[in-house]
Structure 1
């Protein structure tokens, strides 16, 4: 046989490569990729959990907002009803106090044979009833005496006149004023002193 025909087995074999190191590198790569995938999966779970918790909180806050808005609307509506009732029935107590006064006046007018003295006594009794009604409802008169200091919050000056009283004081009361619970219902009409006549 010729030398060119050699046994294929006899050909020089390539040296064997040690694959144990390569397997270790591949295993390390695979385990690091698996670890990264696991971390990414856990991160996605964390984000999903965080998102669902946030959505639950948003839903809770929205429900609380709607309840608070409804409660505020109910309070506003009740307040409007209370104001309307106060306007409608606010004078009820005062009206109840005035009914006996009216009854007395009607009774006085129903009697035809009365003396002047009887009329006077009836009017005085009726005035006492009216004063009691005013007191019960905090309605007080403003009647400054001559010489009292002029108070623009409770008095209304009609004119200034020379008088024996000091300047800026009440010279004369023309009409009583009234306050109700410290609020001026009608100011007293007065003439104010401009000082000594000169």
Structure 2
């Protein structure tokens, strides 16, 4: 028996690796692991930043639109005040005994409009505008020789926005061409 061992039979070596190559592999493995960990760290930092941005946006939205439910409920108050003012005949409004009552209703409606404005609640323009399905809800079509088809010619209920979001669509009547008239679609 010989005391010499060949590299193939030396314990702890694999195949034809020399002792130097065997010593380099743990370092190479550590470098690969280090690079993988760096990549994982970068992905984790990016994900953390995305989560932080998303939470900041959600917080800002929650603050900006917190009053949405309350504002929707207040729209019926605004509608009722508008109907009350529209229902007052001119002779009643001119009556000196009822003038303070009419003035009080008008002032209440104005103050409600001011409160809406301060809180970013605005009326949606409808009359004479082209139908915008994102802001208007068409309830009916009305024949009209004066307005282009698709134009709002009647507003049944005022619509509102809260900042840049729809609070309630305007309920409108839209013009259509009178019967017997052809519409030039290429114009």
Is it true that 1:63 corresponds to 2:37 in the alignment? Answer: yes
Is there any run of 5+ residues in structure 2 with no aligned partner, and where?
Answer: 1-17, 75-96, 181-187
Aligned position for 1:149: 130
1:59 deviates by 3.2
Query: Following the alignment from structure 1 to structure 2, what is the Cα–Cα distance between the partners of residues 81 and 153?
Result: 27
Aligned position for 1:105: none
Q: 1:166 aligns with which of 130, 147, 152?
A: 147
Is it true that 1:140 corresponds to 2:122 in the alignment? Answer: yes
Larger radius of gyration: 1
RMSD: 3.6
Aligned position for 1:190: 172
Matches within 5 A, 1:111-126: 116-126=98-108
TM-score computed with the length of structure 2 as normaliser? 0.52
1:89 deviates by 4.0
Number of matched pairs: 136
Matches within 5 A, 1:47-62: 47-48=21-22, 50-62=24-36
Query: Following the alignment from structure 2 to structure 1, what is the Cα–Cα distance between the partners of residues 130 and 63?
Result: 38
Query: Following the alignment from structure 2 to structure 1, what is the Cα–Cα distance between the partners of residues 46 and 117?
Result: 38
More helix by share: 1
Note if contact 2:65-2:162 (Cα within 8 Å) is conserved in structure 1: no
Is there any run of 5+ residues in structure 1 with no aligned partner, and where?
Answer: 1-42, 102-114
Relative to structure 1, the CA distance from residue 179 to residue 56 in structure 2 (aligned partners, 3 Å threshold; closer, same or farther) is same
Note if contact 1:143-1:173 (Cα within 8 Å) is conserved in structure 2: no
Which string of whole-angstrom CA distances, capped at 9 and with x for unpartnered residues, describes residues 37-68 of structure 1? xxxxxx642x2453233223223224324534
Query: Following the alignment from structure 2 to structure 1, what is the Cα–Cα distance between the partners of residues 46 and 131?
Result: 47
Query: Following the alignment from structure 1 to structure 2, what is the Cα–Cα distance between the partners of residues 80 and 184?
Result: 22
1:130 deviates by 2.7
